[in-house]
Structure 1
């Protein structure tokens, strides 16, 4: 599979958002708005909401195939609470049709390399092993492979799945992973 990694910009943001919505259909409103704000980075709306939420979106990239379709996305952001020591990996996702083809590894290597230039001591990742997110278990293995080790785990209620078989309580763990950058 041929692809290239390009910065997210006005020309491809709609494809990036569609990819994120496909991979993460159960996003919170704050999560949903963050990527949409990225293209407004130079405006007052972004600066105000960045101040309110305590986050600064640094850079985002998408992997696109030869036809320009988005195969994966990743990016970096800082949080006010630990921005003096860490940058965070954000919106790391690979479209289900592109999984297992090297796209995720290439995006993660790209983000790790970029993170090393931010001056941060650590790259952190907020993730989940939710049963609602297809492939979240596979993602945990990729994070381990590239050195993002579990820093903390918190069990949370994941939701309800209601179907013909009845009701199932879904469980999830909110996980923070970390790797040193120096």
Structure 2
């Protein structure tokens, strides 16, 4: 498995994978992989930079995991910053693995990659939010094993589920 920066060549596969793993995120206008991934590649495009500014996102970078035998995108991860805490924290985003490739340690590899990458910009904390949706139970175990501790929870409006906030001091 090879981790490389998201590119125009891997963009559509990466979006399709996140849409498959997190189908509910497509309903959000801005908080979806299609927007986030395109914006990260089009940093100088005024349309995207203006929307990122409105969302208070100052930086967004994403990576993909490629299965070397097939050339297929089988995982994604990202690091992004919010204006409110950009000097101290990165947020982990869109970390997922194709269901067919799960159980091979790819998710752990992606989280470890992000944990190693985060301090390079002087960040002191890695944060993320996830949920208690049943399909994210294995991810909760992975985050816990990597030291990402729960710092808060909030009810997801109109559901029986909660958004879970986690962080790791780097």
Q: Is the TM value for this pair above 0.5?
A: yes
State the match for 1:21 in structure 2. Answer: 19
**Unmatched tracts of structure 2, length 5 or more:** none
State the match for 2:125 in structure 1. Answer: 122
Query: Alpha-carbon deviation of 1:35?
Result: 2.2
**What SS does the corresponding residue of 2:7 show, helix, strand or coil?**
coil
- Greater strand fraction, Structure 1 or Structure 2: 1
Pick closer, same or farther for the CA change 1:179–1:19 going to 2, 3 Å: same
Query: Alpha-carbon deviation of 1:158?
Result: 5.5
Query: Alpha-carbon deviation of 1:153?
Result: 0.9
Deviations 1:19-69 (A, max 9, x none): 110001011222122223222112222221111110134321111112211
Deviations 1:102-128 (A, max 9, x none): 111111111111101111110000111
RMSD between aligned residues: 1.3
1:110 aligns with 2:113: yes
Q: Which has the larger radius of gyration?
A: 1
Pick closer, same or farther for the CA change 1:57–1:16 going to 2, 3 Å: farther
- Greater helix fraction, Structure 1 or Structure 2: 2
Pick closer, same or farther for the CA change 1:108–1:13 going to 2, 3 Å: same
State the match for 1:137 in structure 2. Answer: 137
Alignment partners' CA distance in 2, 1:70 and 1:97: 12
Specify which of 101, 104, 110 is matched with residue 104 of structure 2: 101
Q: Runs in 1 of length 4+ with deviation above 4 angstroms?
A: none
**TM-score between both structures, scaled by the size of structure 2:** 0.91
1:77 aligns with 2:75: no
Alignment partners' CA distance in 2, 1:54 and 1:30: 12
**TM-score between both structures, scaled by the size of structure 1:** 0.86
Alignment partners' CA distance in 2, 1:137 and 1:158: 20
Alignment partners' CA distance in 1, 2:88 and 2:95: 21
**Unmatched tracts of structure 1, length 5 or more:** 160-170
